[in-house]
Structure 1
Amino acid sequence: MSIVDKISVRSGAGDSQAEPRTFLPLLDREGPSTEPDRVRLGAARDRVFAVIGAAIGALAMGVLLTVGSGLIPPGWMLAVSFFWFVLLYAALLALREPFPAVWDGFASVLMWAAGAAVVGTLAIVVVFTFARGQEALTHLNFFTRDMTGAGPLSGLDEGGILHALVGTLQQITIALVITIPLGLTTAVFLNEVGGRFARIVRTVVEAMTALPSVVAGLFVYAAIVLAVTRQTNGFAASLAITVLMLPIMIRSADVVLRLVPGNLREAGLALGAGQWSVVLYVVLPTVRSGLATGVILATAHGIGETAPVLLTAGFTGVMNVNPFYGPQTPLPLAALDLVRSPVPEMVARGFATAAFLLFVVLVLFIVARLIGGQEAGKTTDAQLRRMAHQSRRDLPRIQENYARLSAERDRLHAAPDGDSDSVIDPRSATSVPFQEKP
């Protein structure tokens, strides 16, 4: 049957009142009688049961081999249980699924285990540190006083770590003041300028990344403490921290600057901006969040260093707000010295100092993230509100300038021909004489 016949049949061959219409096979066909199967996301039920069974069996084997039989020390129970869990889970999958599915499940277990190990290790460190130092953390004087007048046998209601907090904040601030501009300009040089010398600089930066912290401390001790200041001080410790923070800052900034699309640079240059204007107003704002991450990584690496500050900062239990004169103890060095004491109260102060150092690092991370902002191309609600407020504030001025320009244009159009050699200056909305170029 042809299309014409189908049109006549569907339009009603014996009905003279029916209007003909075009037959569309894809639209006129009947729909499926049953709803198609939906794709369900998540782990299959068999794999969930396999994980549960393998976990129970692995825990039983770990307890049996460590606590029950004593063949393996009890401290290795988690490692032994994880080993048996992987074996049992792979065996259970192999009973019902083909080899590709078994390998996929095995790789998934390893990935989840790696993430759980990282989070679990961090949680154990944080909980253990706060638990050992909770006795000292409950005293307000621990945060508001230094160790002046507090001896080894003094109670926890005497002394504090205010001097170490001030030393850490001053030293890391000086290190950041030096590291951020120097590291950022070096990364911009490596990406925007390049050349033969850039390869040498990149090689030096990569070599400095593997520099031991003790070597950095010895270098600053010999070059600054012995040759210039003749005494340990906070500024020398800041320089030692800077040597360790600088390569991390440069490499982090170098990586994020490489992610900037080349068409953004080309668009800025096409609009008439110079190379450094493009870098300042296009490239750096685009990777602001990545640069903030680099600052966070460098700060985390420098604020917890103990070996370089042990050689350059000196140790004191009293407040010293002058980083250029006299010993100035930071939090890591104070925690190390207090934990090595045989007195339980001093050990509690040491763990409390370490716990407070973790809190200070967390606060610095939050501040750096707030300064860095969100990812490029994303706008928060607060930024949208500020942009709208700025637009409403600029609207009357724009309307006034537009009205003045319109009036000036109408006046020029209505002027005689002899007065037509003038143009409108948009900045002042007034007519200025037209001058031909020689």
Structure 2
Amino acid sequence: MSHAAVTAKRPNSLQGGQLPKWAPLAIAAGSLAVSVGLCLATGIESKIQWGLIAAILYIVGTYVISARVENRRQAKDRIATSLVWVAFLLAVVPLASLIWATVVRGIKVLDGYFLSHSMGVVGNSEPGGGVYAAIIGTLEQVGIATLIAAPIGVLTAIYLVEYGRGALARAVTFFVDVMTGIPSIVAGLFILSILLAFNLNFSGFAGALALTILMLPIVVRSTEEMLKLVPNELREASLALGVPKWRTILKVVLPTAIGGITTGIMLAVARIAGETAPVLLVVFGNPFINNNPFEGPQASLPLYIYQQYSLSAGSDAGIDRAWAAALTLIVFVMILNLAARALARWKAPKTGR
């Protein structure tokens, strides 16, 4: 018998049966059904435990079935894919549950009246009132913080990537890393100490300064990473044509990275938009409308949510207003992110064919 005939008869460990495309869905459905049956039989009522048991059964079932039908190599590949899907669902399910609960509970009082009126003389435990003053305060405080932090953060990142060498660059990098881990309450206490030292009053601008401290390191880090992703060939080609370095950065590097830079700034805005502690310390809150962020206490959405929930004495009216304000804040951040994506897509460099 020839060597070729022996090789043909010998089974190849890399070949075997193939599971159909619908097999993962069938295994997932079967795992969920078995999990529900086991939990009902044993008296387990927590749906979270149902899901965790179903996830374990899905991973084990995928490996066993794939190993028997296909081979161990393919089974290991499928179990890695299953772990990725399980991790994805573990991240998405709490987020979807949070959004669903916020929408269901916040939609009760969220209407035109709620968005166009403030608390005024309405008590926290009484029905009525609205969130207009808090929306104005959040827009002004976040806007001022962005106007301060965005240019400083982008310029700092440009220095670190394009010019930064030596002790100064290392010192700037160190302090940016330290600022990244600063708790929000510390930023509020820092601004509060300045207010007390100079005998200044609470204001929305003071809250914006505290938010700037929290926003700045995020802008620096995200912009720095985006600038590092710009190919050096683009810089070298521009410099080889005699273009000055500052103009190369302005006309080549920044337009190439503008999408990532904008996304990073929006992530920083989303980070500070929900901060309560620094606003509580230096803005103080105000049930009345205050359009001047430089004078007097001012409201904000996170502070409004906290006050309505904590000071309403458990009344349904105050809790409903807190949920409605939370839904307003989520929509506000979502609109900002969509606007940022549209701006980044519009300003992104166009590649010709």
TM-score bracket, normalised by the shorter chain, equals 0.7 to 0.9
Indicate conservation of the 8 Å contact 2:301/2:325, yes or no: yes
Do the aligned partners of 1:213 and 1:244 also contact (CA within 8 Å) in 2? yes
From 99, 102, 125, the counterpart of 1:129: 102
CA distance in 2, matches of 1:152, 1:261: 56
Amino acid at match of 1:301: R
The aligned residue for residue 77 of structure 1 is: 50
Check 1:160–1:176 CA distance in 2 against 1; reply closer, same or farther (3 A cut): same
Q: Distance in 2 between matches of 1:205 and 1:153?
A: 43
Question: Partners of 1:347 and 1:67 in 2: how far apart?
Answer: 34
Question: Which sits farther off after the overlay, 159-168 or 266-275?
Answer: 266-275
Q: Does 1:213 align with 2:196?
A: no
- In structure 2, distance between residues paired with 1:200 and 1:314: 35
The match for 2:12 is none
Task: Give the corresponding residue for 1:361.
Answer: 333
**CA, structure 1 residues 54+295, in 2 after alignment: closer, same or farther (shift >3 Å)?**
same
Tell me, yes or no, if structure 1 residue 319 matches structure 2 residue 292.
Answer: no
**Contact kept in structure 2, 1:265 and 1:278, CA below 8 Å:** yes
Counterpart check, 1:371 vs 2:343: yes
Given that 1:47 and 1:93 are in contact with CA atoms closer than 8 Å, whether structure 2 keeps it comes out as: no
The one of 252, 265, 274 aligned to 1:295? 265
Following TM superposition, by how much is the alpha carbon of 1:365 offset from its aligned partner in structure 2, in angstroms?
Answer: 1.4
1:147 partnered with 2:127: no
CA distance in 1, matches of 2:25, 2:338: 38
Partner Cα distance (2:113, 2:199) in 1: 33
| Structure number with bigger Rg | 1
User: Alignment partner of 1:217: what SS?
Assistant: helix
CA contact (8 A) 1:50 1:92 kept: no
Matched residues in 1 for 2:343 and 2:29: separation? 47
Q: Which moved more, 1:115-124 or 1:353-362?
A: 115-124
Change (3 A) 1:306 1:152: closer
> 1:378-415 CA deviation, whole Å, 9 max, x = no partner?
369xxxxxxxxxxxxxxxxxxxxxxxxxxxxxxxxxxx
1:169 partner amino acid? L
Q: Retained in 2: the 8 A contact 1:217–1:309? A: yes
Q: 1:356 offset after TM fit, Å?
A: 0.5
Give the Cα separation in 2 of the matches to 1:127 and 1:72.
21
Q: 1:243 to 1:307 in 2, by over 3 A?
A: same
Answering whether residue 221 of structure 2 is matched by residue 248 of structure 1, we say: no
Work out which structure has the larger RCO, using CA pairs closer than 8 Å and 6 or more positions apart in sequence: 2
RMSD over aligned Cα, in angstroms?
Answer: 2.1
Determine the C-alpha separation between the residues in 1 that align with 2:224 and 2:124. 48
Of residues 82, 96, 100, the one that matches 1:109 is 82
Q: Give 1:160 shift.
A: 0.6
Report the Cα offset of residue 47 of structure 1: 4.7
1:37-48 counterparts in 2 under 5 A?
A: 46-48=19-21
User: How many angstroms does 1:248 deviate by?
Assistant: 0.6
Q: Does 1:198 align with 2:169?
A: yes
**Equivalent residues in 2 for 1:229-308, closer than 5 Å:** 229-308=199-278
**More helix per residue:** 2
Structure 1 unaligned blocks of 5 or more: 1-43, 381-438
The answer to whether residue 32 in structure 2 is matched with residue 59 in structure 1 is yes
CA distance in 1, matches of 2:39, 2:280: 41
Query: TM-score, structure 1 length as denominator?
Result: 0.72
Cα-to-partner distance string for 1:197-248 (whole Å, 9 max, x where unaligned): 112211221222121112112112112x212353322111111111111111
Decide whether the 8 Å contact of 1:67 with 1:74 is kept in 2.
Answer: no
Q: After TM superposition, give the deviation of residue 349 of structure 1 in Å.
A: 0.6
With over 3 angstroms needed to count, the CA separation of the structure-2 counterparts of 1:178 and 1:70, relative to structure 1, is same
Q: Is it true that 1:94 corresponds to 2:67 in the alignment?
A: yes
Residue of 309, 313, 324 corresponding to 2:279: 309
Equivalent pair of 1:66/1:74 in contact (CA under 8 Å) = no
Cα deviation, residue 373, structure 1: 2.8
Offset, 1:64: 3.6
C-alpha change, 1:89 and 1:274, in structure 2 (3 Å) is same
CA distance in 2, matches of 1:62, 1:172: 47
Q: Measured at CA, do residues 290 and 73 of structure 1 come closer, stay the same or move farther in structure 2, by a change above 3 Å? A: closer
Quick one: which amino acid aligns to residue 317 of structure 2?
A: E
Aligned match of 1:346 in 311, 318, 321? Answer: 318
| Partners of 2:198 and 2:70 in 1: CA distance | 71
Residues 66 and 313 from structure 1, CA distance in 2 versus in 1: closer, same or farther, beyond 3 angstroms?
A: farther
Q: Is the Cα contact below 8 Å between 1:146 and 1:159 reproduced in 2?
A: yes
CA distance in 1, matches of 2:302, 2:124: 19
Contact 1:50 1:93 in 2 (8 A): no
Shift of 1:372: 2.4
Question: How many residue pairs end up in the alignment?
Answer: 333
Identity of aligned residues (%): 38
Match of 1:174, as an amino acid?
I
TM-score by length of 2: 0.88
In structure 2, distance between residues paired with 1:253 and 1:113? 32
Where does structure 2 lack aligned partners over 5 or more consecutive residues?
1-16
Q: Equivalent residue for 1:405?
A: none
What secondary structure is seen at the aligned counterpart in 2 of 1:136? coil
Counterpart residue number, 2:145: 175
